[in-house]
């Protein structure tokens, strides 16, 4: 089993972590669990629902209104359509856990 390197945690890294912590799951079961969770989150957000995970944070959807933007290459004004975008708000416990594990910023 592969342990993810330090840096970005990927979907594969989450599956591997699940296998390390719960060895009674197979690789396929672990993949299915992670995929089901991500699909459930995506589906709830697409319906405009808010998801709250205590101690971790909350996911939601914000509506952005239509506006006039600018093409940075040409300077031409372009119409930007209204859209809904997902956002994440970190919970207090996660924020303090991350702050406690603070390392010096890489140069």
Q: What would the pLDDT profile of 50-100 be if each residue is shown by its tens digit? A: 999 999 999 999 999 999 999 999 999 999 999 999 999 999 999 999 888
Higher pLDDT: 104 or 19? It is 19
Percent of the chain surpassing pLDDT 90: 79
* pLDDT (0 to 100) of residue 6: 63
Please tell me the distance from the alpha carbon of residue 88 to that of residue 64, in angstroms, as a whole number.
15
Predicted TM-score (pTM) of this structure = 0.72
Q: Which residues pair with 57 in a beta bridge?
A: 53, 90
- Report the 3 state secondary structure along the chain: CCCCCCCCCCHHHHHHHHHHHCCCCCHHHHHHHHHHHHHHHHHHHHCCCCEEECCCEEEEEEEECCEEEECCCCCCEEEECCEEEEEEEECHHHHHHHHHCCCCCCC
What ranges do the domains of the chain cover?
1-47, 49-107
- Architecture per CATH, domain 49-107, reads as Irregular (4.10)
């Amino acid at each position: 089993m592969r342990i993810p390197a330090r840096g970005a945690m990927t979907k594969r890294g989450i599956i591997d972590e699940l296998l390390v912590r719960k060895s009674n799951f197979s690789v396929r079961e672990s993949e299915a669990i992670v995929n089901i969770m991500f699909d459930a989150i995506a589906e709830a957000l697409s319906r405009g629902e808010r998801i709250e995970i205590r101690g971790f944070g909350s996911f939601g959807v914000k509506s952005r209104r239509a506006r006039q933007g600018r093409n940075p290459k040409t300077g031409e004004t372009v119409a930007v359509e209204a859209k809904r975008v997902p956002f994440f708000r970190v919970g207090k416990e996660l924020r303090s856990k991350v702050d406690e594990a603070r390392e010096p910023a890489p140069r």
